[in-house]
Amino acid sequence: MDLVTVWFLAIAVLWTGYLVLEGFDFGVGALLPVIGRDDTDRRVMINSIGPVWDGNEVWVITAVGAMFAAFPAWYGSMLSGFYLLMFVILLALIVRGLAFEYRGKGDTDRWRAWWDRAITYGSAVPALLWGVIFANLVRGLAMDADHVVTAGLLDLFTPYAVLGGVTTLSLFTLHGAVFLSLKTGGAVRSRARVAALRAATVALPATGTFLAWTQAAHGKAWTLPVVALAGATLVAGVVLAARRREGWSFAATAVTVGLLSVTLFGSLYPLALPSTTDPAYSLTVSHAASAPYTLTVMTWLAVVFLPLVLGYQAWSYWVFRKRVTREHIEPTPAYGGGGPGDSPDGAPASAG
């Protein structure tokens, strides 16, 4: 296997890790007004992802950075085609991060309500738009011979791409609800179970249809069993959630998100970005790759640093593995209160 293929697989793994891990904290954020009946409930929900959400975002930073270094032409074509969607996602992630940090800095209900909306929209919008982007990445875009994307914004919202967005939004919402039922206790846990089953009524048909459409229009022979397995794990995750087996249910939804990503990248390869203008204009991974020397240096850096990053993230999940309940929530501090390093919501401010 040559280094070009190795790095395409590495980038696919990085995006898969991002969608699996950030997927559940997007879901928790999107469910904030649904499950959180009062301020304490919402602080329980926020604290359940408080130690890990920014660590999860490291995966997207690493994935985009690796694309820039290993496949600069792919990176450039994607930015030229998706820059408006990317800008909206970046803005949403910034607002969401600010909301986590500043929500507890004020002592009025109105202050917290505004930041709660920021968390909700800052989670739901990226969850929707990542699906639109990945669907377009597989379907292809109008592109000229120089691999410059000529498609407009409205061209990105085809029925297939919109279905991709609905799929990721509903699937992440289900994934987040299952995570909440696993990570929290009391009334929040009970409402999370109900939310998971309601989210499944959208996630099941949307994901099934999107996977089938992807396989029929863009899939390879080897992706067919992947699609079938993704459908089976999704159904299993919903059944396990209904039977209150939260740990196994969360593992099943995580595998489903991972297999969805495998299906998309598997359907795309060996292209990096198909052209709908003329197949001859499509960008292949070989044409998009950096020089062999660059890929060799990147490989050695990855061998040294990747285990450290993975080990640190696994350790952070282990340290903060216990359930969060209302009893763990301290009284709301006065404006500007809290000691140095304390999170406004009683959880470590960052773990990434």
Q: What is the pLDDT of residues 218-272, one digit of tens each?
A: 999 999 999 999 999 999 999 999 998 999 999 999 999 999 999 999 999 899 8
Query: Which residues partner with 310 through β-bridges?
Result: none
3-state secondary structure of 1: coil
pLDDT tens, position by position, 179-196 = 999 989 889 999 999 999
The mean pLDDT value of the chain amounts to 88
CB 193 within 8 A of CB 179: no
| Secondary structure letter of residue 341 according to DSSP | T
Instruction: Identify the residue with better confidence: 327 or 319.
Output: 319
Phi and psi at residue 214, in whole multiples of 5°? -60, -45
pLDDT exceeds cutoff 50 at 338: no
Structure tokens at 296: 């060799």
Length of the chain: 352
Question: Which positions ≥6 away from 47 have C-beta within 8 Å?
Answer: 324, 328, 329, 343, 345, 346, 347
pLDDT exceeds cutoff 90 at 11: yes
Measure Cα distances from 276 to 145, 150, 161 in Å: 11, 10, 14
Structural element, H or E, at residue 20: helix 3-30
With b meaning 16 or more CB within 10 Å and e meaning fewer, what string describes 35-73? Answer: bbeebbbbbbbbbbbbbbbbbbbbbbebbbebbebbbeb
CB 103 within 8 A of CB 116: yes
pTM of the predicted protein model:
0.89
User: CA 216 to CA 42: how far, in whole Å?
Assistant: 42
pLDDT band with cut points at 50, 70 and 90 for residue 333: low
